[in-house]
Amino acid sequence: MADKGLIERLRAMIREIEERNPEARPEIPAPEKGPLPYRAKALVHPEPASIQVRDNPEYREITAVYKTGSLPWLEPCLPDSLDGFRSLEPCLESLDGWLYLDIETTGLGGAATFAFLVGLGEWTQEGFVVTQFLLTDRAGEEALLQAVRDALDSHRTLVTFNGKTFDVPVINSRFVLSGIRPPAGPHCHLDLLALARNMGKRVQYGHNLKDSVRRFAGVAREGDVAGNLIPALYFIYEREKDASVLDPVLKHNRLDVLDMACLARVLGAVVTAAENRPKDNLALSHAGKMHYRKGNLRLARKCLETASAEGPCEPDKRALLAQVMRRQGDWEGAKKIWEELTGSGLGTAEDYLWLARYHELVMGDLQKSLEIVEQAISRFGSGSPVPEPLQKRKARLLRRISASRKRA
């Protein structure tokens, strides 16, 4: 038998959420699409322009429409974003046919865990449309899964936040346990959590959807139900068949899907260094690093150069920009950065070595190259063993200088 005290506490939490007066909220200006003050109060979510509810025998279908631009970043992704996203997911072919997915479950995993609420979002001519499938009776799970499968099969790309680890495995396990054919599509899956984590340290940007959207898009939640209460609320609904118990859960899920659309838009602007984006040097330089690892030198250079031009950039990212330039054949541009780093005392032994290689291999100036190596040895070898690459480079240069003198 359920703990009556727990049920009453949960009901009290729900009442507290419902009774909050929206008019008592402080006036919060909409954030500009420019420098984003991370710790400033952010814009709250709008109400949907329309909501329609349709009751099927096995599940309830709720459709909410949000107007394009009702939040600063609630817009379809820019066309140039596709190239940036491909650094993370090369399988992406188009920005069309994207389906955003978020689920609410009875637990955090295991055979007994199932999704009682599936939220799906997509861009249409009306705006951003969120369709939710709510399981009103466990016996209707098969019909709900079939509806979800039809939606997945009709789209090219699935977009989630931590969906590769949680949402998709949970749904797939329910297809298997229910004996239903799993979806054939979408063929590509973009997980925004992985993309957000590539933008910087988790401690700054967070590891959950709400925090990431607040940091990047300036959009905050107010009166949201705590995620750890959601399974208990569904169990109360099953016991008492009071649909109002799930109202906070439906709103939570709807905003999760909405937030993913905002996050995709703003991250697409960051990873392509678009003009219309938050001015965040750390995120931009980390985007450049991601592109470099994936071999997209054009975007790597664009992101790193933009980050350097707009404010202080970490020395390791400046060094990375030099490597991008070198691989593109721009040795002169790379040389300026190596000189900047070594001259300011921020350069590493590797920066000295590359500057020495430039003078040896590009300019043919062996003596200048040797001087740079000796400067590095003087700096990094004081009180500790000289790094082996510097020793080898010095020995190589001495041999070449000696050989050139003999030929002369």
Q: Do 4-271 and 281-407 agree at the fold level?
A: no
Domain 281-407 annotated CATH 3.40.50.10310: no
Contacts of 260 (CB under 8 A, 6+ apart): 100, 102, 121, 159, 160, 161, 192, 209
Is residue 29 predicted with pLDDT exceeding 50?
no
* pLDDT value at residue 407: 82
- 118 forms beta bridges with 103, 133
At 235-269, the pLDDT tens digits run 999 999 999 999 999 999 999 999 999 999 999 99
3-state secondary structure at position 18: helix
- Tell me, what's the pLDDT at 223? 83
Helix (H, G, I), strand (E, B) or coil at 258: helix
Confidence of residue 5 (pLDDT cuts 50, 70, 90): low
pLDDT, mean of residues 363-372: 96
CA distance 247 to 232: 13
- Angle, alpha carbons 395-396-398 (nearest 5°): 65
User: How confident is the model at residue 23, as a pLDDT?
Assistant: 44
Residue 31 confidence (pLDDT) above 80 = no
- What pLDDT shows up at residue 71? 87
Q: Is the pLDDT of residue 224 over 50?
A: yes
- Cα 156 to chain center, whole Å? 20
Band of residue 299 on the pLDDT scale cut at 50, 70, 90: very high
Domain ranges for the chain: 4-271, 281-407
Q: Is the pLDDT of residue 202 over 80?
A: no
Looking at residue 7, what is its pLDDT? Answer: 65
> Mean of the pLDDT values across residues 57-70?
95
Average pLDDT score, the chain: 88
Say which CATH superfamily domain 4-271 falls into: Ribonuclease H-like superfamily/Ribonuclease H (3.30.420.10)
